[in-house]
């Protein structure tokens, strides 16, 4: 189920497109403005033209918290991306506070202060890239050992599982039992950076239903398949890449 805020004709279209894909929605409808449009101009370099969405009041944010409060221990909640400038940087923290006694698995795919403020609530999974992870500690994670050290430190701060993407160099995963895995991504021509990280999270959650190694293979396959496509990857593209992903415990 997709949750959040919708506004105007663009918000209505987002809901329509999601429901065409069979995805249930439960948005807070705003009475003013339009959900923002982000334009990605592709060429030799990629240019982002990201619009601004409508302001969200405290009452409207509270409505979202009320919707989220129905989640239970059988659910997984993904908190992804930046938040509107009109909301405080503890917005994700407030959501996790709301769910603190419900055993909901919460995945946080965010950076800087937005991520750090969720750590005392022990997110099930965080997925920074190596630059974002290093940024938490003011260091540069340029090699595997530095990444592993930062994974251990951020787990001390509260993260349970940490999946660190490294673009063409694959990923490093630190589990809550102390085990660390190296994921080698398949080779291919990168055509698209939009949605690759989100695809990686989705792949992990799909594979985690079976095992950690399969979760890591699906994560790398889904992220790579989207990066190698003009749009979000299709299921067959993801499945075809699975045999080309290697996972090894360090």
- pLDDT score, position 220: 95
**What is the widest separation between alpha-carbon atoms in the chain?**
52
Same domain, 170 and 132: yes
| Contact indicator for 155, 176 with CB cutoff of 8 Å | yes
Same domain, 243 and 181: yes
Same domain, 50 and 99: no
DSSP helix/strand/coil, 204: helix
221-239 mean pLDDT? 91
pLDDT classification of 216: cutoffs 50, 70, 90: very high
Same domain, 60 and 76: no
Same domain, 17 and 98: no
Same domain, 114 and 211: yes
- pLDDT score, position 176: 94
What is the percent of the chain with per-residue pLDDT over 70, rounded to a whole number? 100
Query: Is the pLDDT reported for residue 140 higher than 90?
Result: no
Per DSSP bridges, beta strands 171-174 and 161-165 are: antiparallel
- 189 is in which domain, residue-wise? 71-249
- pLDDT score, position 121: 95
Whole-angstrom CA distances from 213 to 26, 149, 179, 207 are 33, 21, 12, 8
Q: How many residues does the chain have?
A: 250
Is the Cα torsion angle 87, 91, 94, 95 positive or negative in sign? Answer: positive
Same domain, 87 and 47: no
pLDDT classification of 7: cutoffs 50, 70, 90: very high
Q: Give the tens place of pLDDT for each residue, 92-120.
A: 999 999 998 889 999 999 888 889 999 99
Q: What are phi and psi of 76, to 5 degrees?
A: -120, 130
- pLDDT score, position 81: 80
Whole-angstrom CA distances from 208 to 16, 55, 70, 119, 217 are 29, 36, 23, 21, 10
Same domain, 125 and 205: yes
Instruction: List for the chain the helix, strand, coil content (%; round to 5).
Output: 40, 20, 40
Query: Is the pLDDT reported for residue 206 higher than 90?
Result: yes
Q: Give the tens place of pLDDT for each residue, 36-70.
A: 988 888 777 778 888 888 889 999 999 999 999 99
CATH of the domain at 199: 3.40.1190.20
Indicate the residue among 69, 91, 119 that finishes a domain: 69
Active site residue 101: no
Indicate the residue among 40, 69, 98 that finishes a domain: 69
- pLDDT score, position 110: 87
Same domain, 206 and 121: yes
Same domain, 123 and 37: no
Same domain, 4 and 38: yes
Q: What is the pTM of this model?
A: 0.90
Indicate the residue among 47, 69, 91 that finishes a domain: 69
Q: Give the tens place of pLDDT for each residue, 147-174.
A: 999 999 999 999 999 999 987 788 999 9
Residue with tokens 């919460």: 106
Any bridge partners for residue 76, and if so which?
A: 105
Same domain, 21 and 65: yes
Any bridge partners for residue 47, and if so which?
A: 41
Catalytic annotation, pick one of 55, 59, 74, 198 = 198
Contacts of 206 (CB under 8 A, 6+ apart): 215, 218, 222
């Amino acid at each position: 189920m997709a949750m959040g805020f919708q506004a105007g004709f663009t918000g209505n279209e987002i809901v329509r497109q999601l429901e065409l894909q069979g995805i249930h929605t439960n948005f807070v409808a705003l009475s003013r403005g339009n959900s923002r449009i982000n334009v990605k101009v592709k060429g030799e370099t990629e240019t982002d033209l990201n619009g601004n969405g409508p302001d969200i009041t405290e009452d409207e944010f509270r409505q979202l918290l009320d919707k989220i409060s129905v989640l239970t221990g059988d659910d997984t909640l993904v908190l992804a991306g930046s938040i509107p400038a009109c909301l405080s940087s503890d917005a994700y923290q407030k959501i996790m506070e709301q769910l603190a006694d419900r055993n909901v698995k919460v995945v946080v795919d965010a950076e800087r202060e937005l991520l750090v403020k969720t750590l005392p609530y022990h997110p099930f999974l965080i997925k920074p890239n190596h630059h974002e992870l290093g940024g938490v500690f003011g260091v540069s994670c340029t090699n595997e050992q530095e990444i592993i050290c930062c994974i251990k430190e951020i787990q001390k701060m509260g993260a349970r599982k940490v999946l660190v993407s490294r673009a063409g160099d694959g990923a490093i995963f630190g589990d809550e039992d102390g085990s660390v895995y190296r994921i080698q991504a398949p080779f291919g021509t990168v055509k698209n950076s939009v949605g690759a990280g989100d695809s990686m999270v989705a792949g992990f959650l799909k594979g985690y239903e079976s095992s950690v190694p399969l979760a890591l293979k699906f994560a790398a396959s889904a992220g790579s398949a989207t990066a190698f496509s003009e749009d979000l990857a299709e299921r067959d593209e993801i499945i075809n890449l699975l045999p080309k992903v290697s996972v090894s415990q360090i």
